[in-house]
Amino acid sequence: MEKRHGIGEGVKYGMVIDLDKCIGCGACVTACVAENNNTILEDETNKLKSITWLRLYKFDNKKPYPETEIGYLPRPCMQCDSHTPCVSVCPATATDYDPDTGIVSQIYTRCIGCRYCVAACPYHVRYFNWFDAVWPEGTEACLNPDVSPRMRGCVEQCTFCHHRLMAAKNKAAMNGSREVAEMDYQPACVEACPTRAIVFGDLNNSKHRVYELKQSPRAFRLLERLGTQPKVYYTTTHEWIRGMSDNWIDKEKGKEKEKAKAHS
Amino acid sequence: MKLDRRGFVKFLVGGVVGTMLSPIPWKLTDDIAIWTQNWPWVPNPPNGANSFKNTISPFRGDGIGVSVRLIDQKRAVTLSGVPDNPINQGGMSCIDLSGVQYHYNQAVRVKSPMVFRDGAFHAISWEEATGLFIGKLKEIRDQGTPEKVALVDGSGPGTMKDLLGRFMACYGSPNYMSMPNASDTEAQILKLMYGAGGTMGYDLENADFIISFGCGLLEGWGSQRTLLAYKDWRQEGNRGKTTLIQVAANASTTSSKADQWVAIAPGAEGAFALGLAHVILKENLGNLGALTGRAFGLGSGVDSQAMSFSGFRDLVLEEYGPDKVTQVTGVSPEKIQDLARRFAKAKSPLALPGRGKGTMPGGLYEFMAVHSLNALVGAVNRSGGVGPVMSPPLTSWPEPALDSVAEKGLRNARIDGAGSRYPFSSSLLHQFADVVAEAPKSPVEMLVVYKSNPAHNAPSSKEFNRARSKVPFVVSFSSFWDETTKNANLVMPNHSFLERWEDGTTPAGVPFPTYVLGAPVLPPLFDTRPTADVILETTKALGGSIATSFPWKSYEDLLKFRVAGIAASQQGVVSVPGSLAEQQPRGFSSAGDLWSSLTENGCWYDPSQRIGKTATGFNTPSGKFEFYCNGISEGLRQAGLDPKRLNVSVQGEAVCMAHFEPAEVEGDPQRYPLLMAPEELAYVFEGEVPSSPYMTKIWPDTLLKGNTLVIHINPEDAHNQHLYEGDPVMIESLKGSAEVRVHLFNGVRPGTVSMAEGFGHTGFDGYIRDKGANTRDMTTVASDALSGMPLWWGTRVKLTKV
Amino acid sequence: MDSALFPEGTKRCSIKIFGFWFSVWSLIVLWGLVGAYFCLRYGLNKTNMNDFFAFGVWIVVDLAVIALGAGAFFTGFLTYIIGKKELKAIINATVIIGFICYSGAILMLMVDIGQPLRGWFGFWHANVHSMLTEVMFCITTYLTVLIIEFVPLILENRQLDKVPELHNFSHRLHEIMFVFAGVGTFLSFFHQGSLGGMYGVLYARPFAFRTGFMIWPWTFFLFILSAIATGPCFTMLIVWITQKVSGKQLVKRSVFNLLAKIAGTLLLTYVILKILDTWYWAIFTAPSLGFDLMDFYAGGPYGFWLVILEIGICGIVPAFLLLSPKARESNVVLISACILACIGVTLNRFVFVVQTLAIPVLPFEDFYGYLPSWQEWAISSAILGYGGIIYSLAYRYLPVFPQEVELYPENLQPQTEG
């Protein structure tokens, strides 16, 4: 547990998503799709082939009526910090981890489409373009020029709206600064969230809100024990969501609960 | 030269080696790789200079501020929230984020005026279209029967709604209808219990104990501002300060995110509220002291009709003891008691009526019960409570001039019975549909539809479509090929929201008056015209008193006229960039100043008029908050209705007070053993437009699978019917049936089926068309006792395995 | 008609029968080409692969044929490096099979990757940390080695051999063949191991992930062992089929015996190590990642029976059958054991490719099944057709089995011109 908050060194962008505040309204998903020019299939219910950089998971606690509870979990790319699964496997160096920001990026034009990274990622954040890029008739006009549409046959994933970081860096440079201000670089999902459930910033910068939030005793990360060191944290007061998020084996549930209690 | 075998081999080997040594293969592979990066069929969005323009998003009718990102000032790419708009503070909803996609979608936009002739739509010119429209209006009016024109308006509160209402009145038809909404019931409550106009405000931010009677607070109830309040409740450091209790039959997002979910029998919300009132009155909890001299009908008295009554306290104490309420609601007496005590002891308790997103009107008595409960705990007109919110001080409309034709026409009773058979309602679309559908000859010659799609989402779309097919001439002003438009005779497409002027007054639930204004952001993409201007043009063409009632040159002109009133009042402030952050919004010096900051930033609001900040009286007959509504007894008398012969389960004084009206759901429980509850979801939209292609990405596959809707049933019911996860079933009610799949979900109350609204479209494009089934094709709509409002929260259904 | 091309001292069927035989294989290839056209023209949405099953039947077939093709390098190793001269009787066959398997796998990969035209980026922009890069390098280089090994055989065609330069060239190649056998063995050890590593390193995939010693060298060697154990089995199987189809004995029974003994020993070693690996993984690795062993077999069609089938029925059983001198005396037993071993290794590769991906790691995900589309089947079977064509042509026109002449001296007739 000591290393829990040890995320690299220098600037490491990350998120803290408050699942108690998240109401599953899907604004983040919509904002993401619009910002990042995700292609849209006529049948998006085929979750196995559709592209959703930010996917909203809906689940429940499986308890009988009326103890049933619904939970939502927005899942962007976890931007794993340690031995990033997708980066290490890519044979063509099309996936890259930027040590200066901690952001995992994808060079679409270099990707050969072998999908090894798709297999390597446990969070299912990596999407292969099974289809040619399609949008509803005429709506190509509202594609974002900052993000190039992808060609069929390559893999893509959430980049924390990396193009916005570029813009913010430019802005900072124009002002003669080298540091990007916290609010100058915010991904589209963060901006759209009506309950401000998603907070974004530099995890290593004590002046940024995420720095404080990630240290909450209620904070956790998805599949933490795999050791991927995601830079996306979640917080919740709902114990069952916490337990679900790391595949607690039945016999562990009691133990972890005690630990969590001792912690808070 | 003959190539011998040896020569051939030499040639072959030499050729291969030579080629590999030459740059040809390397250059070629490189070129090929570059080609794969620039496939001509992958769009390449042109870049350009960025600029931002603010406007308001019209889809949810809550006037949230959106900032449109433009490339080279001509291409709108993305939308984001305006941070200093007090309604959303930068937050967005998925439908609002889809605005540009609707704007550009060629497949769903109506690109020019269209007329339906000889079995097909034909593009026509605007001259021809307005000519047809005006000609028809003139023709009907010349026959002296202006009441034969009916209009369905789906716009939210704002100038357009007023304009259309005024136009109908001046034309001479009483048959102006709005799409049903919980605000309709709220308006009746305001009138009967508070004696007020304006809108009902709920000060969620300052309340500390909230009981929501089925409101989908997190599914889209009220405005985006509701979510801002929720954000505050869940803010680190605020935890535990505000308690949210959700009273509902099924596990919804709100019930799961609430501090406590009280699972209740469907339709028993009113009884539950009265059960709480019983405990409060019995144990003398409440804040009854605050009511001294400010409430009418809590104890015994005499009403304005000189009828004596024993009052609300006795009614509740006698009729709504925990045991009886338990029977109706299925909630244990202990739970009722505990909740009542916690509620009454809270500093700022607040009870909220209304189901789902508030697109369905509520039962009048049910709402009265909840408002009575609020009054008992002193929540009325208190910070953190509930109360009427004054309309923004827009210039009031000049008295309309009515000629004799108009006067005569307006004397006719409305087709839907609002104001006559149902004296407390102003518009009842489902009654209209029933009457027209049943009549041998349509009492309506022309039906005009604006910013709504009743063919898909009228309470019972089946009935509406039956009625619509009888109307000889249907006019749609829709920008989109929705179901209503596809069945219209004349389509006069409106500009998209990025191309037109749009405004809005205080949205549902917001605790202070607001006014938002959005200016056009882009030039029109197609041959469309703003409906407001078409209406103004029509008034000029119709001439006479109609023309004089509409002296404005254009809609912009009219909006300026309206906004001048706010400027003259010198009340309130306008939001300016950063105003919320700094808590220093700005006043305005002149009408021009106000106008320009409104068009730039979009929002005026008046925090000084917040609930509880101003002393507000009650403009009821008693001058007090009325537990016993004089308005009801007066209204009934004026309408000549005998209280004994009403469709109300009680008699005597209880007719004028909150009480529990048992649910009347059509259908034989033996044949239709389950109750279908339409479920409104935050990520499914149903209104002027359906969910956007963007939004289809949000949907879990427990909502829609391929083209089949997934309904949710309790595993217990599934077990009884031998149904397993994913089984295809036929869901059938008295009105209709559909093939769906089942998802076993513990959160659905045994005996009920939860079915998502907003599907089963036959209009629009392949991203939404033919997906799922429309609940409204299946609903049996009940008319609320007394108000006649449509209620469709429960429909008896049966499931059969396919 | 084409008898002039037949290897010296052999009899082959008529061109008509061969034509029919040939067209059957060609039809399969044609079907595969149609499938490939769909996938290349319209994209991989024509397959039933998806973002869960990023790898499908193609990769299973790829891994399986690469394992089964291991007979080539391993026999080469035994023949040229260890000096088991008896195996010269089948070395040609193993080279052809190896060539078919490896080239087939690469051809299929060209359809499998989303951007075939950029396939060479793996070399150009190589990521040295990726197991796949290693596999790509080794497989392509090894294919070159296989081609070099195959070329002399082609040049031994009766007519080509008449060209003195070619004859000479082929002879020279033969002389240094041990070098290539060595290089081939070296490369193959690498990529067979790396193929195992490809899955073993997926630390976010608890089903495949192995920790520490269990990945290197354990998993690497498990893959190598399984390949060199089953490769010879596959060779035996193919040679046996050739014998059945051609109706004559091509290789002496002693060669089979020797191969069976070697394969059996290796298979037994493999199975023991595999059981240890499974045990360690079930007891330590998986629980540390949040999974009970049976979690992996709880949902969907991939139940625990797969383990019993793979390790028990297709592992332990053939190992003992091959090792028992009495049992392997019987052709039926020997070939059944070979078939079981080949199924076993295919199953092993299937489990690593498909089951690894099928098991939901993210708790919000469900278990999904995967069934290939017709295009995937078509392209997979095209490898079979392609193999059939190459192998048949080789058998008909090249002196694949040196013992054939020895076994059928009556065919060795004085040369007649024309």
In angstroms, the separation between the Cα of residue C117 and the nearest Cα of chain B is 6
Residues from chain B that touch C360, judged by Cβ atoms under 8 A, are: none
- Name the residue facing B33 among C117, C163, C166 (closest C-beta): C117
- Contact criterion met (CB below 8 Å) for C81 and C181: yes
Hunting for tokens 């029974």 — which residue is that? C253
* CB contact (8 A) between residue C163 and residue B35: no
Is residue A41 within 8 angstroms of chain C, CB to CB?
no
pLDDT band with cut points at 50, 70 and 90 for residue A259: low
pLDDT band with cut points at 50, 70 and 90 for residue B290: confident
Which residues, at least 6 apart from A98, have a Cβ–Cβ distance to it below 8 Å? A104, A105
Hunting for tokens 């969620």 — which residue is that? B204
Name the CA dihedral angle for C347, C348, C354, C360, rounded to a multiple of 10 degrees. 120
d(CA B161, CA B169): 12
Q: State the average pLDDT over residues B86-109.
A: 95
d(CA B435, CA B430): 9
Residues from chain C that touch B9, judged by Cβ atoms under 8 A, are: 163, 165-166
Structure tokens at B126: 């605007």
Q: State the average pLDDT over residues B462-477.
A: 96
Q: Which residues are paired to B574 by β-bridges?
A: B586, B604
In angstroms, the separation between the Cα of residue B502 and the nearest Cα of chain A is 22
In angstroms, the separation between the Cα of residue C127 and the nearest Cα of chain A is 5
B749 pLDDT higher than 90: yes
Query: On the CB side of B79, how many CA atoms lie within 13 Å of its CA?
Result: 27
Three state DSSP letters for chain C: CCHHHCCCCCCCCCHHHHHHHHHHHHHHHHHHHHHHHHHHHHCHHHCCCCCCCCCCHHHHHHHHHHHHCHHHHHHHHHHHHHCCHHHHHHHHHHHHHHHHHHHHHHHHHHHHCCCHHHCCHHHHCCCCCCHHHHHHHHHHHHHHHHHHHHHHHHHCCCCHHHCHHHHHHHHHHHHCHHHHHHHHHHHHHHHHHHHHHHHHCCCCCCCCCCCHHHHHHHHHHHHHHHHHHHHHHHHHHHHHHHHHHHCCCCCCHHHHHHHHHHHHHHHHHHHHHHHHHHHHHHHHHHHHCCCCHHHHHCCCCCCCHHHHHHHHHHHHHHHHHHHCCCHHHCHHHHHHHHHHHHHHHHHHHHHHHHHHHHCCCCCCCCCCCCCCCHHHHHHHHHHHHHHHHHHHHHHHHCCCCCHHHHHCHHHCCCCCCC
> Nearest Cα to B729, choosing from B653, B628, B799, B657?
B799
* CB contact (8 A) between residue C163 and residue B5: yes
d(CA C148, CA C153): 9
Is residue A57 within 8 angstroms of chain C, CB to CB?
yes
Is residue A135 within 8 angstroms of chain B, CB to CB?
yes
Of all residues in chain A, the one with the smallest CA distance to B701 is A45
Write down the pLDDT at residue C43: 94
The whole-chain average pLDDT of chain B stands at 93
Count of other CB atoms within 10 angstroms of residue B237: 6
* CB contact (8 A) between residue A45 and residue B41: no
Q: State the average pLDDT over residues B7-35.
A: 82
Is residue B28 within 8 angstroms of chain C, CB to CB?
no
Helix (H) or strand (E) holding B790: strand B790-791
Write down the pLDDT at residue B580: 60
B571 pLDDT higher than 80: yes
Q: At what angle do helices C220-246 and C331-350 cross, to 10 degrees?
A: 140
* CB contact (8 A) between residue B80 and residue A142: no
Report pLDDT digits (tens) over B631-664: 999 999 999 988 777 888 898 899 999 999 987 8
Neighbours of B (≥3 Cβ pairs closer than 8 A)? A, C
Which residues, at least 6 apart from B106, have a Cβ–Cβ distance to it below 8 Å? A137, A138
Of all residues in chain B, the one with the smallest CA distance to C364 is B700
Which residues, at least 6 apart from B696, have a Cβ–Cβ distance to it below 8 Å? A40, A44, A45, B767, B768
- Name the residue facing A88 among C112, C129, C287 (closest C-beta): C129
- Contact criterion met (CB below 8 Å) for B355 and B379: no
Report pLDDT digits (tens) over A109-156: 999 999 999 999 999 999 999 999 999 999 999 999 999 999 999 999
pLDDT band with cut points at 50, 70 and 90 for residue B731: very high
Q: Which range among A256-260, B339-343, B351-355, B495-499 shows the weakest confidence by mean pLDDT? A: A256-260
* CB contact (8 A) between residue C118 and residue B35: no
Strands across the sheet containing B114-117? B120-123, B114-117, B490-491, B473-476, B446-450, B149-153, B176-178
For the whole model, what pTM was predicted?
Answer: 0.94
* CB contact (8 A) between residue B683 and residue A24: yes
Q: What are the DSSP E strand ranges found in B625-720?
A: 625-626, 674-679, 704-705, 708-713
Please report, rounded to a whole number, the percentage of residues in chain B having pLDDT higher than 70: 98
Q: State the average pLDDT over residues B672-682.
A: 96
Write down the pLDDT at residue B615: 73
What does the angle CA B362 – CA B365 – CA B369 come to, to the nearest 5 degrees? 100
Is residue B239 within 8 angstroms of chain A, CB to CB?
yes
B28 pLDDT higher than 50: yes
Mutate: best of B34, B84, B95, B97, partner A, most A CBs <10 A: B97
d(CA B753, CA B731): 10
Is residue B6 within 8 angstroms of chain C, CB to CB?
yes
B80 pLDDT higher than 80: yes
- Name the residue facing A225 among C45, C290, C295 (closest C-beta): C290
* CB contact (8 A) between residue C118 and residue B5: no
Is residue A64 within 8 angstroms of chain B, CB to CB?
yes
* CB contact (8 A) between residue C51 and residue A124: yes
Query: On the CB side of C415, how many CA atoms lie within 13 Å of its CA?
Result: 9
A75 pLDDT higher than 50: yes
Check the CA dihedral B371-B376-B382-B384 and report its sign.
negative
Write down the pLDDT at residue A264: 41
- Contact criterion met (CB below 8 Å) for A67 and A41: no
Which residues, at least 6 apart from B46, have a Cβ–Cβ distance to it below 8 Å? A145, B71, B75
A251 pLDDT higher than 70: no
The two beta strands, A70-75 and A55-60, are antiparallel
Report pLDDT digits (tens) over A163-180: 999 999 999 999 998 889
> Residues for chain A: how many in total?
264
Please report, rounded to a whole number, the percentage of residues in chain B having pLDDT higher than 90: 85
Write down the pLDDT at residue C414: 54
- Name the region of B264 (left: φ>0; alpha: ψ -120 to 50; beta: rest): beta
Residues from chain C that touch A155, judged by Cβ atoms under 8 A, are: 114
Write down the pLDDT at residue B242: 95
Of all residues in chain B, the one with the smallest CA distance to C121 is B33
Structure tokens at A174: 């124009």
Write down the pLDDT at residue B579: 60
Report pLDDT digits (tens) over A123-133: 999 999 999 99
* CB contact (8 A) between residue A137 and residue B765: yes
Task: Please list the rounded mean pLDDT of every run of 10 residues in chain C (418 residues).
Answer: 85 93 97 97 95 94 94 91 91 95 95 92 90 91 92 90 85 84 89 89 88 87 94 95 93 93 96 95 90 84 91 96 94 96 96 90 86 96 96 94 87 53
Phi, psi dihedrals of residue C399, rounded to the nearest 5°: -80, 75
d(CA B357, CA B95): 14
Cβ-count burial B753-785 (b if 16+ within 10 Å, e if not): bbbbbbbbbebbbebbbebbbbbbbbbbbbbbb
Report pLDDT digits (tens) over B496-544: 999 999 999 999 999 999 999 999 999 999 999 999 999 999 999 999 9
pLDDT band with cut points at 50, 70 and 90 for residue B581: low
Write down the pLDDT at residue A6: 61
Range of B52-61, B471-480, B565-574, C280-289 with top mean pLDDT: B471-480
d(CA A95, CA C203): 17
Report pLDDT digits (tens) over B44-62: 999 999 999 999 999 998 8
Write down the pLDDT at residue B25: 85
Mutate: best of A32, A39, A45, A54, partner B, most B CBs <10 A: A45
- Contact criterion met (CB below 8 Å) for A9 and B75: no
Residues from chain A that touch B698, judged by Cβ atoms under 8 A, are: 26, 29-30, 56
Of all residues in chain C, the one with the smallest CA distance to A253 is C290
Write down the pLDDT at residue C74: 92
Of all residues in chain B, the one with the smallest CA distance to A197 is B231
Q: ω into residue B678 within 30 of 0, thus cis?
A: no
- Name the residue facing C114 among A113, A119, A123 (closest C-beta): A113
